[in-house]
Chains A and B, each alone.
Chain A
């Protein structure tokens, strides 16, 4: 699951700058390209990102990463490691 959260973070940051370039995303997330494509398809199917002109987070995706970030912060406070 962590990979999906990390991917959403990266996609959000990339989509704010300019058009999302998948090879740059791949470099940041460090997974093979075919697996990255598979993750992106799954996130589109879940309605967390949309693939129109460029990849970008939907409202559902944004609210998910807001919650995700809160939970990560909570886990850190609880002394739990998430890897």
Chain B
């Protein structure tokens, strides 16, 4: 029963991520600047990682479950790396940094392929145990998410606006979810494991709320008001 609930949580998380990808790609479509591609790629990889996790829980007795867990580890780490790269490059001016963000994204994709080959393709290298690598990856995820949280918090503090506080909160929740997973990995505490899932779901729900507010919220922006007033008088 507990497994079924966890699988369901993974499925819901994956669905929420793929819904978010649909909107996260809009900054790239509108600006045509590669640095914003990290947002849809990040949420896409995050969704894929939840699918791998769900599958590894569902096929617990099968041999390939270890492979699924490794894949989950990589995809999640790449997800946060892409997100962190997006925030890092967003504060640079477009003119002089285009080459750098293109190189960074290319390097991340290359690293993803190499890591897949190292783990799954023969000759296999003797890697540390999954548990040890999992802990290192969790720490890496926490560092990236802390960077993003600080970046978004700074952005909120520089131009205080109630609508910009939600994103730092949700990234912090992602960070705490990773921390909870680390605790679970160290002491196998079931409450930490469930807590990680709940925090992550809460974080994703906040993202969906922000997307809804931005694209479907009944706000009257300055320009929208102007255009509608003009159309009403026409």
Contact = CB atoms under 8 A, between A and B. Distances in A.
A16 B223 CA distance: 12
Interface in A1-55: 1-2, 5, 9, 12-13, 16
A66 B224 contact: yes
Q: In the complex, which range does the number of interface residues on chain B fall in?
A: 35 or more
Given A12-B223, A69-B221, A70-B214, A79 B30 contact: no
Interface in B203-232: 210-211, 213-215, 221, 223-224, 226-227, 230
Contacts of B31: 1-2, 71, 82
A73 B168 contact: no
A77 B213 contact: yes
B152 A79 contact: yes
A17 B26 CA distance: 31
Nearest to B153: A79
Interface residues of A, number: 26
Contacts, number: 80
Interface stretch (B71-79, B86-94, B106-114, B131-139): B86-94
B121 to A, nearest CB: 37
A9 B224 CA distance: 11
B30 A68 contact: yes
A60 interface: no
**Best-buried of B31, B33, B91, B226 by chain A (most CB within 10 Å):** B31
Contacts of B166: 77
B27 interface: yes
Contact of B167 (A62, A67, A79): A79
B33 A77 contact: no
12 contacts: A9-B223, A13-B226, A67-B30, A69-B221, A69-B224, A70-B214, A73-B214, A79-B156, A79-B167, A79-B168, A80-B86, A80-B155
